[in-house]
Chain A
Amino acid sequence: MQTIVAYVQNKPGVLNRVASLTRRLAINIDSLTVGPTENEEIARMTICAHTDERGALRLEASLEKLVDVLLAENISDRSMLERDLALIKVAADQQNRPHLMELIKVFRGRVVDVAPESLIVEVSGTVDKIDGLLEVLRPFGVLEMARTGRIAMTRGSDLLRPPAVPSSGSKDTAPASS
């Protein structure tokens, strides 16, 4: 699994271009998240792709060829944080609810909704952690689940910021005429 962070123009069709590119390169995306940045003209993507290092290099370079992609970088080998958020609706009755709550606490999940026959857990963390919680919840009956996919950020002074100015004037290139 390779993790690529990209800054893109925040406008319609950009997600389509990125998705179309990975399809063309025959790279399967495990998760892709998009969110706003402090600059409203720029959005940030985290792309987790099933490919090797060479594939990731190609994806990164090809992404940067897209006019609307300002920067793309493979951060798989760097010291980084990865977070996934999940909402999980589990079957729960009066008898097993206390036991269930104990387990959720171990995984640092939060119960955000309780109903007579179910409850909803909110949990964030690494993919492994959420998968671990899911495994222990499964015997109780997982009724529904929503996951955000990963977002990632390099640690400390390893900054990955979009180019400062969102857009600037460019010079025309005239066609060579006959």
Chain B
Amino acid sequence: MKLTGAQILCETLERLGVHHIFGYPGGAILPVYDALGKSKLHHILVRHEQGATHMADGYARASGGVGVAMATSGPGATNMVTGIATAMLDSSPVVCITGQVGSKFLGSDAFQEVDITGITMPITKHNVVVTKPEDIARTVREAFIIANSGRPGPVLVDITKDAQQASTDFDWDAAAPKLPTKRIRNNHDQEEFDRAVELLNSAKRPVILAGRGIMLSGAMPIFEQFVRTSNIPVAMTLLGIGCFPATDPMNLGMMGMHGEAWVNTAIQEADLLIAVGMRFDDRVTGDLRTYARNARKIHIEVDRAEINKNVKVDAAIIGDAGETLSNLLPHVHERDHSAWLAYIKELKGDSAVRDIQSLPDSGHLYAAHVINDLWKVTKGGAIVVTDVGQHQMWEAQYYHHDRPRSLITSGGLGTMGFALPAAIGAKFARPDAEVWVVVGDGGFQMTMCELATIVQEKINIKIAIINNGYLGMVRQWQEFFYDKRYVATPLVAPDFVTLANSFGIRAERVTTRKEVVPMIESARNSDQAVLLDFRVEQEDSVYPMVPAGASLHEMIRRPNNPLVETASEP
């Protein structure tokens, strides 16, 4: 059967089980778009190619499968760069397909030509240029394998226009993926394994550090068994949230820069840390010289390059989280850590009184209230997609995720503008799920053009803007470390209600605490997208906070009266 390269691409994607492609057309990818029109694939027209990559990323994170983004050559491809880096830093399986100028123009500075494989080399797991139609099917099949195996990540396939146009015989079997045969490392080191078992069975003050690797491995059930058997409390990284129920008494909460005080204190005082599928990021450890000084460390990690990268560990087990935990489990003794658990609980009691949730209603609206109410009203059942900044940390603190893949957020790269497009992707992956965007007024303005995508695709997601009139997290750093010199952080925004209305999206402004629950409920009752503009305290800060480079126990704690009362009149 003779097909064009463009038809082969569509056929291949269909056979790989792809249903949705997030993209934006242009000259060098037009043959593919022509073929797309005749295929069963659902193409979602985005408003900016960065949005396409975030949508594919959100799709991947919500589903566990591969998300697909598409763009033309040149500016279309370069607009994808931020989204690709976001996926790379958070190990998200995304396949990006870009059009490229015809192969005989390569290197000639042709119109809309850019060396996108050169540009994306350090931010993709792999990338390839395809110049012949007969290579398309095999390359795309390989891209899917690479993207979603081992430690997942983004793969870019750049297809020249002539390869899209030319015809060739299409033979699925002949186009089987042929990845290079790599040396298979025998990662099982019995000595390390035995040492890990010994450490596990002798620790008195152990803490498990749970990361996204648990979710990527699908290891949630075995992880829970491991926690129950070993009776060791769990601290989570931002991206690990959801891998173990937040409301479980064994779950301490999030660790790190904005982790709860009792979590960080427990880590600093622990005698053993068991890190599972996490990579000791600097936002998690603080100053490495003082990090968990008294603790021995076990590292369970699929990526060998992460071992001893930031923190020197005593026992490293390289491998898939689920597999490793099932190997360990039979050797783990049931242990009583009640004294240690009681001690952590005591620490927690001290923090709770400083919590803004425990303070009486002063008539002012705080982000923490909004997010906590959102959790209560949705009964923790929504997929929440957050942007980056203060609201992201408040979400992690006040929305208690019991289910995996229910928090989608840009952790490693910290990409503002991620939330809205990623939520659109998540909704396509999980059409039956309730999807909420929690976004700041700064980040929202970076990708708010995707409101048009929501309307065009008639999708039902809810948007909560935590609007404080500042680039809040940067303002907070300026308050703490730059003497309150608020340079370039006060932020003028459009009237988001009118803006949303102009797109044809219902929107409401919320200014008092008593309106929060009814407004959330009314938004949920709509079968269309709704935007809520929450006007919260302007100079509220996220507590606790470990200043960048400080030790994990050197936290700026919540003040005894954290009310700031600086809300502007609506």
Against A, the Cβ 8 Å flags (1 = close, 0 = not) of B178-205 are 1111111100000000000000000000
Chain B residues within 8 Å of A57, by CB? 308
Tell me the chain B residues, 46-84 only, with Cβ under 8 Å from chain A: 60, 63-68
Please give the distance in Å from A126's CB to the nearest CB on chain B. 28
Chain A residues within 8 Å of B304, by CB? 61, 64
Q: How large is the interface on A (under 10, 10 to 19, 20 to 34, 35 or more residues)?
A: 35 or more
CB pair A175–B144 under 8 Å, yes or no, is yes
Chain B residues within 8 Å of A71, by CB? 182-183
CB pair A67–B309 under 8 Å, yes or no, is no
A20 in the interface (beta carbon within 8 A): yes
B121 in the interface (beta carbon within 8 A): yes
Against B, the Cβ 8 Å flags (1 = close, 0 = not) of A69-107 are 111000000000000000000000000000000000000
CB pair B305–A68 under 8 Å, yes or no, is no
CB pair A20–B17 under 8 Å, yes or no, is no
Q: In the docked arrangement, what's the CA distance between A126 and B307, Å?
A: 33
Q: A172-B145, A178-B63, A178-B431 are in contact. Are A64 and B181 (CB under 8 A)?
A: no
CB pair A166–B181 under 8 Å, yes or no, is yes
CB pair A170–B178 under 8 Å, yes or no, is yes
Q: How large is the interface on B (under 10, 10 to 19, 20 to 34, 35 or more residues)?
A: 35 or more
CB pair A167–B183 under 8 Å, yes or no, is no
CB pair B16–A172 under 8 Å, yes or no, is yes
CB pair B429–A58 under 8 Å, yes or no, is no
Q: A58-B305, A175-B63, A177-B19 are in contact. Are A170 and B182 (CB under 8 A)?
A: no
Minimum CB distance partner of B184 in chain A: A163
Q: A163-B182, A175-B16, A178-B431 are in contact. Are A170 and B121 (CB under 8 A)?
A: no
Chain B residues within 8 Å of A21, by CB? 122
CB pair B177–A169 under 8 Å, yes or no, is yes
Q: In the docked arrangement, what's the CA distance between A88 and B18, Å?
A: 60
CB pair B64–A178 under 8 Å, yes or no, is no
A157 in the interface (beta carbon within 8 A): no
Tell me the chain A residues, 15-58 only, with Cβ under 8 Å from chain B: 16-17, 20-21, 24, 54, 57-58
CB pair A174–B16 under 8 Å, yes or no, is yes
Given contacts A177-B65, A178-B19, 15 further A-B pairs with CB under 8 A are A24-B122, A58-B305, A61-B305, A67-B146, A68-B180, A165-B181, A167-B180, A170-B179, A171-B145, A172-B141, A172-B177, A174-B17, A174-B144, A175-B63, A175-B144
Closest CB pairs A-B (n = 9): A175-B65, A176-B65, A61-B305, A174-B17, A175-B66, A71-B183, A61-B304, A170-B177, A167-B178
Can you identify 30 A-B contacts, CB atoms within 8 angstroms?
A9-B180, A13-B117, A17-B121, A21-B122, A61-B307, A64-B182, A64-B185, A67-B126, A70-B180, A70-B181, A71-B183, A163-B181, A166-B181, A169-B178, A170-B145, A170-B176, A170-B179, A171-B145, A172-B141, A173-B148, A174-B17, A175-B63, A175-B68, A175-B144, A175-B148, A176-B64, A177-B17, A177-B19, A178-B63, A178-B431
Contacts from A to B (Cβ < 8 Å): 9, 13, 16-17, 20-21, 24, 54, 57-58, 61-62, 64-71, 162-178
Contacts from B to A (Cβ < 8 Å): 16-19, 60, 63-68, 117-118, 121-122, 125-126, 141-142, 144-146, 148-149, 151, 176-185, 303-305, 307-309, 428-431
